[in-house]
Structure 1
Amino acid sequence: MRMTVSGASASGGFDMVDLHDPMLYGQGEPHSVWRHLRRHSPVHRNVTADGRSFWSVTRHQDVMRVLRDYEVFTSARGNLLTTLGTDDVAGGRMVTVTDPPHHARLRAPQVAALTAGVRGTGGTRMREAVRALLRPALDGSPWDLARAATRLPLMALGPVMGLPAADWPALGRLAFAAVAPDDPVYAAEGTRTTLATAHHELFSYFRAALRSRHRSPADDLLTRLLPPAGEDTRAAAELAVYHCYSLLLGAVTTLPHTMSATALAMAENSRVIEAMRQGPQALATGVEEALRWSSPAAHVLRHTTRPVELAGVPLSRGEAVVAWLGSANRDEAVFPDPYRFDPGRTPNRHLAFGYGPHYCLGAALARASLTAVLVELVDAVEAVEVCGPVEHLNSHFIAGINRLPVRLTPRRRAAH
Structure 2
Amino acid sequence: MRITAPDPAARVPLADIDLYDPRLYAHGDPHLVWQTLRREQPVFWQDLPDGRGFWSVTRYDDCRRVLSDYTSFTSQRGAILKMLGTDDPAGGHQMAVSDPPRHTHVRKPLEEMLTPAAMVPYLPKIRASIRELLAPMCDEKPWDMGVAMTALPMIVSGVLMGIPEEDHPGLVRKGLMTVAPDDEEFQVRNDPDATLRAAHHGLFAYFAEQVRIRRRAPGPDLGSRDLIGRLMTMTVEGSPLTDGEIVANCYSMLLGANVNTGHVLSAAVLHLMDDFAQYDRWASDEAGWKTGLTEALRWSSPVVHFLRYAVEDVEIGGQRIRAGQGVVAWIASANRDEDVFPDPFRFDVRRRPNREISFGYGPHRCIGTAAARITLDITLREIFSRVERFEAAGEPEHLCSNFTGGIKHLPVIAYPRVNRSAGAA
Report the TM-score, using the length of structure 1 for normalisation: 0.94
Q: Give the AA of the match of 1:161.
A: M
Q: Deviations over 1:135-160 (max 9, x none)?
A: 21212101111012122121111122
**Equivalent residue, structure 1, for 2:206:** 205
Higher deviation after alignment, 220-229 or 58-67: 220-229
> Residue 151 of structure 1: SS of its match in structure 2?
helix
Partner of 2:263: 257
**CA distance in 1: counterparts of 2:7 and 2:254, whole angstroms:** 35
Task: Please tell me whether residue 103 in structure 1 is matched to residue 109 in structure 2.
Answer: no
Write out aligned runs for 1:263-342 (5 A). Answer: 263-342=269-348
Distance 1:188 1:114 in 2: 34
The amino acid of 1:379's aligned partner reads S
Q: What does 1:222-261 align with in structure 2 at a 5 Å threshold?
A: 222-227=228-233, 235-261=241-267
Q: Which amino acid aligns with 1:359?
A: R
Q: Is the 8 A contact 2:57 2:328 kept in 1?
A: yes
Shift of 1:283: 1.9
Hey, what does 1:413 align to over in structure 2?
419
Deviation of residue 51 (structure 1)?
A: 2.9
Deviation at 1:103, TM superposition (A): 1.4
Against the structure 1 CA distance between its residues 185 and 203, is the aligned structure 2 distance closer, same or farther, given a 3 Å change threshold? Answer: same
Name the CA distance, whole Å, in 2 between partners of 1:229 and 1:75: 22
- Structure 2: state its 5+ residue gaps: none
Q: Secondary structure at the match of 2:242?
A: helix
- Alpha carbons of 1:28 and 1:229: their partners in 2 closer, same or farther (altered >3 Å)? closer
* Cα distance in 1, alignment partners of residues 230 and 388 from structure 2: 41
**Residue 221 (structure 1) shift:** 2.5
* TM-score, structure 2 as length reference: 0.92
Which of 357, 366, 369 is equivalent to 1:363? 369
CA 1:414/1:47 → structure 2, altered by over 3 Å: closer, same or farther? closer
The correspondence for 2:388, drawn from 382, 405, 413, is: 382
8 Å contact kept, 2:25–2:401? yes
Cα distance 1:415–1:322, how it changes in 2: closer, same or farther (>3 A)? closer
Question: Does the residue aligned with 1:150 lie in a helix, a strand or coil?
Answer: helix
Kindly indicate whether the alpha-carbon contact (under 8 Å) linking 1:127 and 1:376 is maintained by their aligned counterparts in 2: no
Q: Name the aligned partner's letter for residue 310 of structure 1.
A: I
Q: Which residue of 1 is the match for residue 351 of structure 2?
A: 345
Identity of aligned residues (%): 44
Structure 2: distance between partners of 1:378 and 1:389? 23
Structure 1 range deviating more: 238-247 or 293-302? 238-247
Which 4+ residue blocks in structure 1 deviate beyond 6 angstroms?
A: none
Cα-to-partner distance string for 1:94-142 (whole Å, 9 max, x where unaligned)? 1111111221122223223434753345x33323222222221212101
**Distance in 2 between residues matched to 1:118 and 1:242, nearest whole Å:** 23
Which whole-Å deviations, capped at 9, do the CAs of 1:180-238 have from their partners, x for residues lacking one? 111111122422221111111111111111221222245322222222599766x4333
Q: Which amino acid aligns with 2:280?
A: E
One-letter amino acid of the structure 1 residue matched with residue 407 of structure 2: I
Q: Is the 8 A contact 2:11 2:36 kept in 1?
A: no
**Cα distance, 1:407–1:193 mapped onto 2, change above 3 Å:** same
C-alpha distance in 1 between matches for 2:213 and 2:341: 48
* Residues 31-50 of structure 1, C-alpha deviations (whole Å, 9 max, x = no match): 01001110111001111232
Aligned to 2:156: 156
- C-alpha RMSD of matched pairs (Å): 2.2
Q: Is the 8 A contact 1:254 1:366 kept in 2?
A: no
Amino acid at match of 1:63: C
Match for 1:88: what amino acid?
A: D
Q: Report SS of the residue matched to 1:147.
A: helix
DSSP-derived class of the 1:321 partner: strand
SS of 1:87's partner is: coil
Contact 1:54 1:322 in 2 (8 A): yes
Aligned to 1:187: 187
| 1-structure distance, mates of 2:358, 2:14 | 25
Would you say 1:56 and 2:56 are equivalent positions? yes
Q: In structure 2, what is the Cα distance between the partners aligned to 1:113 and 1:124?
A: 17
Aligned partners of 1:5 and 1:29 also within 8 Å: no
Contact 1:67–1:354 under 8 Å retained in 2: yes
Deviations 1:236-265 (A, max 9, x none): 333221221111101122222112111112
Tell me the matched-pair count.
Answer: 413
Decide which moves more: 146-155 or 280-289.
280-289
Cα separation, partners in 2 of 1:358 and 1:176, compared to 1, 3 Å: same
- What stretches of structure 1 of length at least 5 have no aligned partner? none
CA distance in 1, matches of 2:354, 2:7: 26
**Quick check: 343-352 or 183-192, which moved more?**
183-192
Choose 58-67 or 217-226, whichever is displaced more: 217-226
Q: Distance in 2 between matches of 1:162 and 1:65?
A: 36
